[in-house]
Every structure is written in structure tokens, then in C-alpha cells.
């Protein structure tokens, strides 16, 4: 796979002094559920911010609306493996069948110029987001798993690896962890991610939002028939869920 990585893999956000911050799990084309959740929490587009753990597209019915959502000034997302499938298929000529099998048929029903426009916009998504929540505390968001290893054992060194500061091999390794890995959740690893107050990830669907160490798993399976979409208030920890009907 010719993984095309972003030039700026980390996007930082200052503390929100005007309103609230929320993070949503894997949307998978169910923007109608996301709209329902935002109505439920009385989301204020003039003051509140919404962050996403990636996998905005594929499987669900409204994936083509992704550009509309990425155009909102109060919305930001990391890149998930499904965004990467779009990027690699359209821009790098990788395996289109793999994307089809994973819910990507919607993309190839669009004209080629629209496909390229979507892929190029997704290419700008960072692999990690960092949010200042005050009192020298930081919250991180990546799609799959903390990009840490024995070679880059904490959040800051993981970000350095993603940025290419530790060499190309470390960069590729950190990017694979951030977008594709499931080792920590499958091993029920409750080791804290050093350098962060909390980390929010998606990728591996859970029956409900759950925590291991300081990592919060917030993909509750909106891409599947029996799943839900979950929204978390970054400050209170309150969780709202919506199910398709």
C-alpha cells in the first residue's frame, strides 16, 4: 500500500474559552445520527467545537456529505483507515476492490473529479489532534491506537515520530499504529498513555464507550446494523448515543 501521509500530522487546538468541546466516534456516513446528537446536546455552532475520531465515510448512507461537514469551522477530524482507503485508492492507485469490500462503493458512483476532490480534502486530515483543556492538561485524539512504542514511548515522542523527526521507518510505524492498530484493545491493555490526560480513539467497535487506562474507546459501531453513534463531552464525560431507525 502506497500510504500517502499528511505533511502536518498533528493539529493542535487551544483551550475553548467560549463553549464546550465534544468528540464523536466513527461516523461511517451516518451524518444524520450526528445531527441528531448535536440537537440533543443543544450544540452551539458559535461557541462549541466538535472533534471526530476518523472514519467519517464508508458503510453509511450519507458519506458524500463529508465535504460539507469538513467545511464547518467548528468541526475537525483525524484521518481514519477508511479515509486512508479513499486516499490510497483514488490518488495512489491502490486496491479499489479492498475499498469496495469495506463499504466504499458510494465513492465510485461519483464522477472522477468529485472522487479526486474528496480524496484531496481527506489527504489534509491530520493523524492526531491535541486539545488543551486547561491547567496544563491535554487530550489527544487518534483513530486506532496511541502511536507509541519502545522507540517512541510517550505522546510527544509519538508525535515526533509521526512528523518524521525519528526517521522514515518510525514515521511509517507510528502512522500504522494511529490508523490501523488494535493491539492494545485486543489485549485489554490498561497502560496509560504518558503525556496525556486522556486519549480518545475509535476503529474497534465496542458495545458502549469504555476506558482502559486513560484511553477511551468511543466507536460504538455506527457502521454496523446493530451499532450506535456516540458523542462524548470532553469536559463532563457525559455520553449521548443515537441509533439509526
Number of structural domains (the chain) is 1
The pLDDT score that the predictor gives to residue 103 is 96
Whether 24 maps to a domain, the answer reads yes
Domain of 169, CATH number, reads: 3.60.21.10
Percent residues over pLDDT 90 in the chain: 93
Whether 93 maps to a domain, the answer reads no
Chain-centroid distance, C-alpha 152:
21
Whether 45 maps to a domain, the answer reads yes
Q: Is the pLDDT of residue 1 over 60?
A: no
- Pair 76, 52: CB distance under 8 Å: yes
Element (H, E) at 64: none
- Pair 129, 202: CB distance under 8 Å: no
Task: Kindly indicate the confidence band of residue 178, based on its pLDDT and cuts at 50, 70 and 90.
Answer: very high
Average pLDDT score over residue span 24-39:
98
- Pair 131, 51: CB distance under 8 Å: yes
Whether 3 maps to a domain, the answer reads no
Average pLDDT score over residue span 134-154:
97
The pLDDT score that the predictor gives to residue 245 is 65
Gyration radius of the chain over CA positions:
17
Whether 96 maps to a domain, the answer reads no
Average pLDDT score over residue span 162-177:
96
Whether 107 maps to a domain, the answer reads no
Q: What is the pTM of this model?
A: 0.97
Instruction: Quote the domain boundaries for residue 14.
Output: 10-79+126-242
- Summary mean pLDDT of the chain: 96
Whether 108 maps to a domain, the answer reads no
The pLDDT score that the predictor gives to residue 230 is 98
Q: Is the pLDDT of residue 25 over 90?
A: yes
Amino acid at each position: 500500500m502506497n500510504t500517502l501521509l499528511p505533511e502536518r500530522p498533528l493539529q493542535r487546538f487551544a483551550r475553548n474559552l467560549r463553549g464546550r468541546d465534544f468528540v464523536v466516534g466513527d461516523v461511517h456516513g451516518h451524518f444524520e445520527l450526528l445531527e441528531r446528537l448535536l440537537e440533543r446536546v443543544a450544540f452551539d455552532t458559535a461557541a462549541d467545537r466538535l472533534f471526530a475520531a476518523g472514519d467519517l465515510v464508508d458503510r453509511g448512507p450519507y458519506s458524500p456529505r463529508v465535504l460539507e461537514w469538513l467545511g464547518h469551522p467548528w468541526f475537525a477530524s483525524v484521518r481514519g483507515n477508511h479515509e486512508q482507503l479513499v486516499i490510497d485508492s483514488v490518488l495512489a492507485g491502490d486496491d479499489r476492490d479492498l475499498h469496495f469490500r469495506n463499504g466504499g462503493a458510494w465513492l465510485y458512483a461519483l464522477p472522477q473529479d468529485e472522487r479526486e476532490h474528496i480524496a484531496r480534502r481527506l489527504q489534509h486530515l491530520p493523524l492526531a489532534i491535541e486539545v488543551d483543556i486547561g491547567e496544563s492538561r491535554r487530550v489527544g485524539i487518534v483513530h486506532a491506537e496511541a502511536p507509541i512504542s519502545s522507540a517512541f514511548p510517550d505522546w510527544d515522542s509519538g508525535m515526533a515520530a509521526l512528523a518524521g523527526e525519528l526517521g522514515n521507518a518510525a514515521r511509517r510505524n507510528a502512522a500504522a499504529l494511529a490508523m490501523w492498530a488494535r493491539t492494545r484493545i485486543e489485549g485489554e491493555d490498561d497502560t496509560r498513555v504518558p503525556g496525556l490526560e486522556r486519549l480518545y480513539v475509535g476503529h474497534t467497535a465496542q458495545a458502549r464507550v469504555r476506558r482502559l487506562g486513560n484511553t477511551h474507546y468511543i466507536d460504538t459501531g455506527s457502521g454496523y446494523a446493530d451499532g450506535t453513534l456516540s458523542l462524548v463531552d470532553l469536559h463532563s464525560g457525559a455520553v449521548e448515543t443515537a441509533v439509526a431507525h
